[in-house]
Amino acid sequence: MTLSDVLVDSGLASAKSDARRLCAQGAIRMNGLSVMDSEEEITGARNIMVGKRLLEIREVDGGYTWKRKDESIAGGMINVSR
């Protein structure tokens, strides 16, 4: 599962091209560090910030769950078989 997949699945990017653009502009931080590669693999629990919007990712039973902290969006499951 790549960073661009997570951003699109969670609604923080409208498409993979949007995720690449956000990374290139330095708008994405993962666990406090700036991320320039939208194809970086996501492993383990992460906090991803896109501007002021925060996404928490946690591992659960062979997959990942995500929860956006900037709105009252409950989150969802991310399938790792991509």
Domain positions in the chain are: 3-78
Of the chain, the end-to-end C-alpha distance in Å amounts to 6
Which pLDDT score is estimated for 65?
A: 79
How far is the C-alpha of 38 from the C-alpha of 30, rounded, in Å? 11
Which pLDDT score is estimated for 47?
A: 92
How many Cβ atoms are within 10 Å of 48's Cβ, its own excluded? 22
pTM: 0.78
Across the 82 residues of the chain, what is the mean pLDDT of every consecutive 10-residue run? 89 94 94 93 88 86 76 52 41
Which pLDDT score is estimated for 43?
A: 83
What architecture is the 3-78 domain classified under in CATH? Roll (3.10)
- DSSP state letter for 42: P
Within 13 Å, how many C-alpha atoms sit on residue 72's CB side?
Answer: 0
How far is the C-alpha of 18 from the C-alpha of 30, rounded, in Å? 17
